[in-house]
Each structure stands twice: as C-alpha cells, then as structure tokens.
Amino acid sequence: MGSTSCSVPQRLTPQQDEKAIPQASLDSEAGPPLPNNSIWEVAGSIEPNPRTKVPVTGTYRPDDKTPRERIPDIYKRGRIIVGVDRSNNLMSYRDTASGEVRGFEVDIAREIARDIFGDPNQVDFRFVESSERTSALNERSVDIVIRTMSINAERQREVAFSAPYMTTKTRLLVLSSSGIRSIDDTAGKTLCAVQGSTTVDTVRREASTSNILQTRSWGDCLMALQLNQIDGVVADDALLSGMLAQDSYTSIVGAPLTSEDYGVAVRKPDSFYDSKPLLRQVNSTLERIRQDGTWDRLFATWLGDYLDKPTLPAPNYLSEEESTNDADATKEAQR
C-alpha cells in the first residue's frame, strides 16, 4: 500500500489552520467515499502546536464525607450521567448483540456509581463525540466524561481532571501486509487520527511528511484502513488494541511516540458550579479500585490479552493549603 492510497486535493495553507479540506472536495472517483465529516490535511500544511512547558496541576484528594454529603444533587437524582464513546472497542462501545454499553471505561463508570449509590447500574450513559467532550460538561448534559481523555495543561484550562485511571502509549496500527514497520516508513503516506484528539498534533510532529485524515471516530479510522484509504492509524495503544481485536490482519508497529495518562473529566469549578466535591468522589473510587484489585481485574478482562499492564502514576493531589485557597476563591466568585 503506497502513498497513492488516497487522492490528494489542493494543498492547505497554514492560514486555514484547523479548517482543513473536507471529504466532499476529494475525487469521488478514486474509490469508496471517505468517512462522513472527515477532514483531509496535506502533509506539512499545519504546524503542530508548540509543546507546552506548563506542568499539569493536581487534583482534589478524597475527603471523609459521604456521597450524600459530597454530591447531594447527584445523590438525590439517583443516577450519575456519564459521557462515553459508542464505538471504542474494549474501552467503551455499544454491544451490537445485546445493545448494552460495555468496556473498560464503562466498568470504571459503574464502579463510581457503585460507590455513590451502592448499585453499579445507577448510571446513565450518554454518547459524546471526541470534539464534544468539553461542551457536554460545560452544558451539564453529563456529570463526568470517561472517554480516553488525556490529561494535559492545555485541557486543564477548560476542564478539571481526576487522578489518572490509565496510562497509554501512542503507537501506529497498520495492515500487517503493508511493509510499514515504524512511523519512519510513512513519508508521503496517509495516517488517520480523530478530530480533537491529541494524536493529531502527534502526527504533525512525528510524521510531518505524512498526510492526515481526521475522522469523527476511531471506528472510522479502522474502516478507512480496511478500505485502503489510509496507510496507518496513530492512536493510544488502548484504542489500537480494540482495533486489533476486530481485525487480525492488522499489527501495532514501531516504538511508542508519546505517553499519556487518561483522567475522568469534570466541568471546571467556577462561580456557577463547584465541581470539586464531585472530583473528590471520583478520586475516592479510583483509589479504592487501585487498592482492592478491581482495577487489575478490569484491565485483565478488557486489555490484558493485548497490552502489558501499565504502572499507574501516583495521584498528584493538591495540598490542603492549595485546596483551601481554591475553595475560598470559588466561594468569593459565587457571591
């Protein structure tokens, strides 16, 4: 599979920035249409965002309050509303046979519900696109998002994060017959990543001579690979494991490009909504499942056949002084 696996439209200018050329402008006679609402980006047309040197800030340590005391509104409602993916195999997906939502992240959500209500089924799942995660929180259509969301300083300007629940490495998935063995073999070829994901910038940085197809979902990336519309998928290994499980003709190749931690995302505390107690509640569950073996069991169930068990970083909790100062600032803003 060579660099001609996708037709090439006119070249982007840097001024077009994120407004890359949409699928509709491609040559429709070149083969099957690309996934709906996909975006084509010509190699080198957009510079990657500068690497930030701003450190990631900590999260809120669990306290000794009960769920009813911490999050009375959610407790009274009788369920927690969680934003997840509909098609990330093994992580969060709708089972076509049963219609149920299943996966590693889904089970973590159920553990959070278990600690709040005593019942892991008292959770409502809402499907959110990768690009909609922050808006879903800000509009309060969901309480939390558990959707392969990497913790970084840029995102912390928009949302608040729990302690990490997963550590991943960004890798490359290709067809086993392609001859591609690393990211260095992709010059002039086309790689896929999901719109709004951190891997788009990773491709721009690590594979600057490769075109990028940005899709709405990772499932679309896998389909494009199977249709020979792209030459590889760049994603976190947890996501690639789900694709590998679906297609035995694929392989994960090359050295890791980056390493990232996933966190549960919550609306950032502000003058209208104090989300710190919810973060404490989530972190109390994450601590519990790490200590009692639940996390190990969930990892083995969903990802153990494809990945080595990662070592999760120790939670980076804010000091009591930092937490107190932050709480005082929130109260002052609420007056």
Quickly state the pLDDT bin for 311 (edges 50, 70, 90).
Answer: confident
| pTM reported for the whole predicted model | 0.84
The answer for residues whose C-beta is within 8 angstroms of residue 186's C-beta and 6 or more apart is: 172, 180, 207, 209, 210, 231, 232
Query: Are residue 158 and residue 116 in the same domain, yes or no?
Result: yes
What is the per-residue pLDDT for 25? 37
Query: Are residue 180 and residue 157 in the same domain, yes or no?
Result: no
253, 275, 310 - which closes a domain:
253
For residue 66, the SS3 value is coil
Query: Are residue 295 and residue 186 in the same domain, yes or no?
Result: no
Q: Is residue 191 part of a domain?
A: yes
Is the per-residue pLDDT at 333 higher than 60?
Answer: no
The number of folded domains in the chain is 2
What is the per-residue pLDDT for 19? 43
pLDDT tens digit sequence for 284-306:
999 999 999 999 999 999 999 99
Q: Which residue has the tokens 């909609």?
A: 132
pLDDT tens digit sequence for 39-64:
999 999 999 988 776 788 999 999 99
Q: Is residue 54 part of a domain?
A: no
Query: Are residue 149 and residue 279 in the same domain, yes or no?
Result: yes
Query: Are residue 104 and residue 142 in the same domain, yes or no?
Result: yes
What is the per-residue pLDDT for 320? 74
Is the per-residue pLDDT at 24 higher than 70?
Answer: no
Q: Is residue 5 part of a domain?
A: no
209, 231, 253 - which closes a domain:
253
The CA angle 206-209-215, to the nearest 5 degrees, is 75
Query: Are residue 80 and residue 153 in the same domain, yes or no?
Result: yes
- CATH code of the domain containing 282: 3.40.190.10
Q: Is residue 12 part of a domain?
A: no
Is the per-residue pLDDT at 16 higher than 50?
Answer: no
For residue 203, the SS3 value is helix
Query: Are residue 248 and residue 266 in the same domain, yes or no?
Result: no
253, 274, 297 - which closes a domain:
253
Quickly state the pLDDT bin for 313 (edges 50, 70, 90).
Answer: confident
Query: Are residue 37 and residue 184 in the same domain, yes or no?
Result: yes
Q: Which is higher by pLDDT, 335 or 239? A: 239
What is the per-residue pLDDT for 326? 59
Query: Are residue 271 and residue 286 in the same domain, yes or no?
Result: yes
Is the per-residue pLDDT at 27 higher than 50?
Answer: no
Query: Are residue 156 and residue 79 in the same domain, yes or no?
Result: yes
Query: Are residue 160 and residue 175 in the same domain, yes or no?
Result: no
- Domain residue limits at 127: 67-167+261-334
Query: Are residue 162 and residue 279 in the same domain, yes or no?
Result: yes
Q: Is residue 238 part of a domain?
A: yes
Task: Return d(Cα 159, Cα 264) in angstroms, integer.
Answer: 10
What is the per-residue pLDDT for 32? 86
Task: Return d(Cα 232, Cα 240) in angstroms, integer.
Answer: 11
Neighbours of 283 (CB within 10 A): 23
Closest to 160 in 3D by CA, of 58, 290, 55 = 58
Counting residues of the chain whose pLDDT is more than 90, the rounded percentage is 78
Q: Is residue 50 part of a domain?
A: no
- For the ranges 27-36, 170-179, 269-278, the lowest mean pLDDT is seen at 27-36
What is the per-residue pLDDT for 21? 45
Task: Return d(Cα 105, Cα 145) in angstroms, integer.
Answer: 10
Q: Is residue 201 part of a domain?
A: yes
Q: What mean pLDDT comes out for the span 99-124?
A: 98
Q: Is residue 14 part of a domain?
A: no
Is the Cβ–Cβ distance between 244 and 306 less than 8 Å?
yes
